[in-house]
Amino acid sequence: MTVILRSLETAVPDTIMVQPEVRDVFAAQPGLTRLGQRLVGAAFDSSGIETRYTAVRELTLEETFEDPVFFDREELRILSPSTKTRNEVYATEGTRLFVEAARKALDAATGIEASDVTHVVTVSCTGFFAPGPDYKVVRALDLKPSVQRYHLGFMGCYAAFPALRSAKAFCEADPDAVVLVISAELCSLHVRSSNNPDTIVGSSLFADGAAAAIISARDLPLDGPALTLDHFETVLTPVGEESMAWNIGDEGFEMVLGTYVPHIIDEHIVGALEPLLARDASLQGLDYAEIEHWAIHPGGRSILDKVEAKLGLSKQQLVPARETLRDYGNMSSATVMFVLKNILEKPASDGNDRICSMAFGPGLTVETALLTRIGATRSDAGTGTAADDAAVGRAPGDADVPAELEPILTQAGA
C-alpha cells in the first residue's frame, strides 16, 4: 500500500522581524554585559537568517502599542511577561496559524473534502490549552465530529516526523483514511534578554510558523507534486540527554541548547541514518550524495555545515534547508515541513526522486524519513537561481565571528 502526502501548505504570521534590526534591539538591552553584547552581535550576524516571522505583533519597530507587554518600542526594551500571559497569546494566535495552514492544505488536496477527513494530528511545543488545537481545527473547518484527534506536545524540533509516521500507520490500517497533520509553533513568545549563551543563540534563531499536510492511501488523481511516505526511523544518540531541552519557567519556556550539540550530530549522524537506509535495498552501497534530495531541519547554520561535510553532500543539496533558515528562521517542528515544501516547489530534475529527511531534538533524538517525490513533470533543473547561489554560501549580512566567541556560537548551533 502506498501512502501519499497529497498536499503540503504553510502559514506564517503577519509581523516580520528583520535580523539586523532585531540584533540591534537585543544588543541594546539594559543589564547586558560587554561579552553579552558581543555574543548577541556574533550570534545574529552568523545565523544565516535574514527574516523571521512572529505572532507577537508588539515585536515590531513599525508601530507603537499602548501598555506594551512584550516590547516597549519607545524605550526599545524587551519586557518579561509571565508564562500565563505568553500562553494566552499562544492560544489565540496559535489557533489562527493551525486553522490557516490546515485550511490551505485541505483546499490544495485534489479530490479530498472536509467531510473525508478521518484523523487530525496536531503538533506543537510552544504552548498548551484544552480543548486544544486539534479541537479548534475540527470546529473551524467543519470536520465531522467523529474525527479521531491526536496532539503531539512538547517533543521539540523533530515532532513532525512522529506525526507523519502516525498518519502513515492510520492509512495502512484503514485504506479509506484521510489524515490532516498540522504543526504550528510560536517560538517567539518565549524570547527574552539574557547574558546566557543558550538564550542568546535561541533569540537569534527561533521564529513562528505552521505547516499542514493531507495524507491518504486513497486512489485519487494528483494535481501537482506529492510525496510517498516510504520509511521512518528513530534513533536516540548514546549521549546528549542534557544537551538539548525545553523547560517551563515563570517567564516563558526556557531553552537548553548545549555547546556540544553539533558535535553530537557530527559523531552520530551516520549511525542514525543506517537503520533508515537499510530499509531500501536500492540504496545499499550508494554514497549519500547519490540520494538527490536532502530535507534537513535547519536547527542552525553550523548544524547544516556539519551535516553537509560529514555526509559529503553538495552545497546545492543543502539549498532547501539553507533557504528555509534564511527566510523563516527555526520554527521548531514546522521547519522541516517548510524544507520539504521547498523541494516540492523546485523544478523536478533528471536525477532520482528520493528524499532523505532528518530532524534533531531533545534527547538527543534523531528522526529520519525516506520519501519519494511523485506527480511532477520532469524538467532540467538548470544551474540554479541567484537565490540558490546566495543560499549555498554566506547569507547577506553574515559577519566573521570573533575568534574567542567561535567555540561558544559554533558549538551552540548558530
State the catalytic residues.
Answer: 157
Strands 148-153 and 119-124: parallel
With cell 490551505, the residue in question is 104
With cell 497569546, the residue in question is 89
Alpha carbons 16 and 280: distance in angstroms, whole number = 42
- Nearest-10 crossing angle of helices 34-45, 19-27: 170
Diameter over CA atoms, the chain:
63
Query: Measured in whole angstroms, how far is the alpha carbon of residue 123 from the centre of its chain?
Result: 11
241 exposure class (CB count in 10 Å sphere: 0-12, 13-18, 19+):
middle
Given a contact cutoff of 8 angstroms between Cβ atoms, the answer to whether 210 and 334 are in contact is yes
Strands 119-124 and 178-186: parallel
What kind and span of H or E run contains 20?
helix 19-27
* DSSP assignments along 211-232, one per residue: EEEEEE------SS-EEEEEEE
Q: Is residue 264 helix, strand or coil? A: helix
Given a contact cutoff of 8 angstroms between Cβ atoms, the answer to whether 200 and 39 are in contact is yes
Q: Is residue 199 helix, strand or coil? A: helix
CB neighbours (10 Å) of residue 149? Answer: 17
Given a contact cutoff of 8 angstroms between Cβ atoms, the answer to whether 307 and 269 are in contact is yes
**φ/ψ (deg, to 5) at 287:** -70, 150
Cβ-count burial 17-26 (b if 16+ within 10 Å, e if not)? bebeebbebb
Counting Cα atoms < 13 Å in the Cβ hemisphere of 17 gives 33
